[in-house]
Amino acid sequence: MTQLRISTALEEQDVDAIHRFLAEESTWARGIPLEMVRESMRHSLNFGGFLAGRQVAYARVISDYATFAYLVDVFVLPEHRGKGFAALLMREVMEHPRLQGLRRFMLATSTAHGLYERFGFTPTAQPQSFMERWVPDVYTARA
């Protein structure tokens, strides 16, 4: 298998490539403005997956680094899927020193339940306790 290099350094992340995927190909952030991606990355722990210097995978964690984390924006570019890169990226996320000992680590997914289950994620134990404020058109409403 080709070696995927993973970096959490913000300055190494290819913001344009990440924005392009999120805004044009993702199902969860379509239309997100570039500046919003930049701002979200500045306030997160970013995991970039690189092959020969090119970013091909990404994940972002929002956390207080003490009690809670939320995993978002996980993707592998379509032409690099099926090579185990998502699992390698997830292993790096789950083993990161700043993300140890958290009481709750959450994510939302519509397609990758099997991947996340391998890393200990399960359906919410008390779904009746969770609420959300959902604004599905927030990216296009700002335009």
pLDDT in tens, 35-46: 999 999 999 999
Q: Which residues make Cβ contacts (< 8 Å) with residue 79, sequence separation at least 6?
A: none
pTM, 2 dp: 0.93
Asked whether 88 and 68 are in contact (CB, 8 A), the reply is: no
Supply the CATH number for residue 29's domain.
3.40.630.30
pLDDT on residue 142: 62
**From residue 73, how far is each of 1, 32, 142 by CA, in Å?**
24, 12, 20
Other Cβ atoms closer than 10 A to 48:
24
Which residue range forms the structural domain that includes residue 29? 5-141
Please provide the average confidence, as pLDDT, over all residues in the chain. 95
Q: What is the pLDDT confidence band of residue 1, given thresholds at 50, 70 and 90?
A: low
- Average pLDDT value for residue range 9-37: 97
pLDDT in tens, 82-120: 999 999 999 999 999 999 999 999 999 999 999 999 999
CB-based burial label for 103 (10 Å; 0-12, 13-18, 19+): exposed
